[in-house]
């Protein structure tokens, strides 16, 4: 089993945090020491970054917040814009060093990306650069809604074009009204060259431990 996974998605708001936390619970249930990492979090509510709080709660080991979340940005904007407004320059090498430190405390590190795979982080770097520097297998979260086929296939293409391995994908039912959901999933199963780790149905009250049971991490190398 690898030392970590980079979680990306077809867009923002499609369930990367949900899947990241579920993966943490799934690995923990298999006896592994796990920790979640959110390199860049944008959008603070009442002094908290919800994604970071959820990842910390799902981890079995603890680490300083500066390692778990090196860049905590207040504006709920694209990371490069939020960082510029905060007079901060996002440096992927800082995130890489934090990841190396987290590896000392946990057997598996689940790293949740920000936005989509190619979202800009600064004038020089984007999400693909970060994933490439970390050099981990990528897990793609596909938000099941109209348009997801194109978004998923383009993201998978971008991952491979950056020399990274697509370790698996998760189908997340974000739209309860989506038509032909099963047919869309089947299409992606045929076209994505990696295992489907699980299908998460649309639910209002999400119990992360229960959702983790829907994921088959045995498919991950």
How many Cβ atoms are within 10 Å of 151's Cβ, its own excluded? 19
- Round to the nearest angstrom and report the end-to-end CA distance of the chain: 6
What is the pLDDT at residue 205? 75
Q: Can you tell me the mean pLDDT for 145-160?
A: 97
Alpha-carbon 70 to chain mean position: 16
Alpha-carbon 115 to chain mean position: 9
Note whether residue 142 is domain-resident: no
Its pTM stands at 0.96
Q: Can you tell me the mean pLDDT for 112-136?
A: 96
Note whether residue 143 is domain-resident: no
* Domain ranges, residue 160: 4-134+148-219
Average pLDDT of the chain is 95
Residue 27 in tokens: 């690995």
Catalytic: which of 33, 38, 103, 204? Answer: 38
Residue 195 in tokens: 């295992």
Q: Is 182 a catalytic residue?
A: no
How many Cβ atoms are within 10 Å of 33's Cβ, its own excluded? 14
Note whether residue 104 is domain-resident: yes
Note whether residue 140 is domain-resident: no
What is the pLDDT at residue 1? 54
The CATH number of the domain holding residue 188 is 3.40.50.300
Note whether residue 178 is domain-resident: yes
Note whether residue 84 is domain-resident: yes
Note whether residue 128 is domain-resident: yes
Rg (CA), the chain: 16
Whose tokens are 């030392």? That residue is 3
How many domains does the chain divide into? Answer: 1
Summarize pLDDT for 15-59 with one digit per residue, the tens.
Answer: 999 999 999 999 999 999 999 999 999 999 888 999 999 999 999
Note whether residue 141 is domain-resident: no
Q: Can you tell me the mean pLDDT for 82-95?
A: 96
């Amino acid at each position: 089993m690898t030392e970590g996974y980079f979680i990306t998605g077809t867009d923002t708001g499609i369930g990367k945090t949900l899947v990241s936390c579920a993966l943490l619970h799934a690995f923990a249930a298999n006896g592994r020491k796990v920790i979640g990492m959110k390199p860049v979090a944008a959008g603070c509510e009442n002094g908290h970054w919800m994604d970071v709080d959820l990842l910390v709660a799902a981890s079995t080991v603890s680490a300083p917040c500066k390692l778990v979340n090196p860049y905590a940005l207040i504006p709920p904007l694209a990371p490069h814009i939020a960082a510029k407004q905060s007079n901060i320059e996002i440096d992927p090498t800082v995130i890489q060093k934090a990841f190396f430190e987290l590896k000392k405390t946990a057997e598996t590190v689940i790293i949740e990306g920000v936005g989509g795979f190619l979202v800009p982080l600064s004038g020089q770097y984007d999400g693909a650069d970060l994933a490439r520097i970390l050099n981990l297998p990528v897990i793609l979260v596909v938000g099941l809604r109209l348009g997801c086929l194109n978004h998923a296939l383009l993201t998978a293409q971008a991952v491979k074009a950056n020399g990274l391995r697509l370790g698996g994908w998760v189908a997340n039912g974000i739209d309860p009204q989506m038509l032909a959901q099963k047919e869309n999933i089947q299409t992606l199963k045929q076209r994505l060259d990696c295992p489907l780790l699980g299908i998460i149905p649309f639910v209002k009250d999400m119990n992360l431990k229960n959702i983790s049971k829907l994921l088959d991490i045995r498919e991950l190398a």
